[in-house]
Amino acid sequence: MEDNNNEMFQRNPVLIGTLITLISYFFGITSLAFLVGAITVGFMIGTDLKKGAINGTIMGLISLVISIIISALYIMAIGYNLSILNILLSTQIVAFIIQIILSIVGGAIGSMVRAESKI
């Protein structure tokens, strides 16, 4: 997969990484899911470390927003109100920050692995 375009944002790797992250996240592998998804994105992006980190961050943000929305819908479906969701979100803010940092690091790691595998 040669990187033929010079665009910073690569849609297909981010979508694939988001799917991997969400599937893993809802099977209970929370923080590791963001790292694995971002490594996948970084590897698919190619040899540019900055592109891998930026696309890993975008993937992490998209996955985080989707997982929060799905969790909110689940909480409302089982009968709790949104005040419970507000409490959960306020207590999980540090975990969200850690997951975004893992996405940045994973994107960079994936890009470095791809760069080293071309030698």
What tens digit of pLDDT does each residue of 27-51 get? 877 778 888 889 999 998 876 888 8
CB contact at 8 A, 56 and 106: yes
| Nearest by Cα to 48 from 98, 103, 7 | 7
Task: Please check whether residue 6 lies inside any domain of the structure.
Answer: no
User: What is the count of structural domains for the chain?
Assistant: 1
The pTM assigned to this predicted structure is 0.80
DSSP-H helix ranges across the chain: 11-25, 30-45, 49-77, 82-91, 93-117
Residue 4 pLDDT: 52
Task: Please check whether residue 2 lies inside any domain of the structure.
Answer: no
CB contact at 8 A, 111 and 46: yes
Task: Please check whether residue 5 lies inside any domain of the structure.
Answer: no
CB contact at 8 A, 116 and 52: no
Confidence category of residue 83, pLDDT binned at 50, 70, 90: confident
Which of 57-61, 77-81, 95-99 shows the lowest per-residue confidence on average (mean pLDDT)? 77-81
Which pair of structure tokens corresponds to residue 88?
Answer: 């959960």
Q: How far, in Å, CA of 96 to CA of 59, rounded?
A: 13
Task: Please check whether residue 3 lies inside any domain of the structure.
Answer: no
Structural domain containing residue 85: 11-117
Residue 109 pLDDT: 92
Task: Please check whether residue 4 lies inside any domain of the structure.
Answer: no
